[in-house]
Structure 1
Amino acid sequence: MFVEGKVKSYIVERGFGFISMDGESKDLFFHIKDFPNKSVEPKIGENLKFRIVEDNGKFKADQIVRLDLKQNTAALESQPQRNSYTSNNVSSRFNERSGKGRIFTIIGLIIIAVLAVLVYNKYQDYKQAKQLKTQQLIQEQAQIVEQQRKALGDLPDQVLSEQGKRHLDNPSSQSLRTEVINVAAPTQAPVTTSQFKCDGRIHCSQMGSYEEAIFFIKNCPNTKMDGDHDGIPCEDQFGRH
């Protein structure tokens, strides 16, 4: 069976090119030796009529008729005829392979899309789990700090060391909770018969109240809480001016 197509490309130096056919995504190979008139080179866009045959496992054009040269149809009849059943069978196989190639391409795209969705969903689950864990740790640390404040009384934020503050901003483990407790513990005033007692603290940041600061500058040595020596310690901290 003859089909029609147009010359899509032709390499003069190598004597071959490709034919495009309506309704076919793949181009068909041809060689100049299969043209009836080899002295006239094919031109791009030239209309051809030909048979599709298989040569060494590949499809090619054979018995090519150059329609634009207006060759006599009798020349077509004079060419050796091949088994029509074989030609039809080869053309069917060519079309069948083209169809299978398109199907495999579509299936491949579907598989890629499904994998992309699965990976995205897994990433979202991981991200949500990580955020939930962080929120839980923050809540636990807030509870620990609240418990310590209740146990120690109202203390200024300066009592916590810089290391303790960094840990509170980035809670991560059970050992951290123990460290926060240990950092805050030294600020607790020992329980004695007197309300306050000299215990080595000398700075305003270590005082829990204005009354405590007054006691320290009056009764404890080497304090550094009354820089202007006016008898009023820690003015800025406790709002005493």
Structure 2
Amino acid sequence: MYQGILKSWNDERGFGFIYSSSFNSNTFIHISALKHMSRKPVIGDVIHFDVETQSDGKQRAVHCRIEGVAKKAQRKRKTHRKKSSFMSKLVIIALLAGGVYLYQQYTKITAPHTPINSAPIFEPVPVEPTRTFESGPSRSSQKFSCNGKKHCSEMRSCAEATFYLNNCPGTIMDGDGDGKPCKRQHCGH
């Protein structure tokens, strides 16, 4: 590393020249070579530097520092950002975990409590024995019984539909209540 004195400095353009007894001519210095210093250079500063030869053959000062001037304190923003992003992720995870826990507690409170050995929800309905009737005066001697049929689609004839309508409870075959069942399918006009 070389040492020299800053002989000239153009603050508006950010460059100057260093005189060093090690070289025959002044060495060019650009402000970018001093970007890590805490202040700009002033004429008369002692500069420590390395030399780099440019493509045009001229020498340029690089890796410079001003004697007696501290380096800029390095900013810790990058590490701060990493900490803040880590902390924000940690906060999000904690909030999600808290939300899941609260939801589970809510469902425990609002869910109906039924003991394991509780009585059945549906009680068995006693089944009535089927009754067998002979249809009244009819042309056929068919026997019909009340075995749970309720709709016209379950009947095979007009006689069976009439038997169910007259003798069995809960039938749904006489929409207009005129006593004639299944007019469209079996007992039409």
TM-score range, shorter chain: 0.3 to 0.5
- Larger helix percent: 1
TM-score (norm 2): 0.36
TM-score (norm 1): 0.30
